[in-house]
Amino acid sequence: MAIFGTGIALQTNTVTSSAHLVWTANSTALAALSPAITVHDVTIINTGSVTVYLGTSSVTAATGLALPSGAQLTYNGYVATTGTTTNDIYGITSSGTTTTEAALATVNANV
């Protein structure tokens, strides 16, 4: 699955053993879009060296979806409106630090 790594939607984040934002439709670039648009399908890549666990702002290593080092996840069916924090995706590690890259997995030419 392609990740649109050169577009305005790319978000690179450092994740530690405290929940950190991995993807938001309210990033500076996306929030600046006017009018707001609906975005779909997000790809997240764990570019670091330890497993990241994905979920809501209350994610834990026990409750999150594991994304091992070097792995990629495409969240088909993800929907959010730019400029909002609804459906933000967070990550956490059980220990250590990792890095994630997240971006739109699909582009709708009719937006």
CATH number at residue 81: 2.60.120
Tens digit of pLDDT for each residue in 70-91? 999 999 999 999 999 999 999 9
When divided into structural domains, the chain yields a total of 1
d(CA 15, CA 81): 24
Strand partners, 99: 14
d(CA 13, CA 102): 8
Q: Residue 65 pLDDT > 90, yes or no?
A: yes
Check: CB of residue 90 under 8 Å from CB of residue 20: yes
Q: Which regions of the chain does DSSP assign to beta strands (E)?
A: 11-15, 20-23, 38-46, 52-55, 65-67, 72-81, 89-92, 98-104
Least confident residue range of 4-18, 19-33, 59-73, 90-104: 4-18
pLDDT, mean over the chain: 89
What pLDDT score does 104 carry?
Answer: 86
Is 39 contained in some domain? Answer: yes
Is 31 contained in some domain? Answer: yes
Q: What does pTM read for this prediction?
A: 0.89
Residue 20 belongs to domain spanning: 11-102
- Span 47-57, average pLDDT: 97
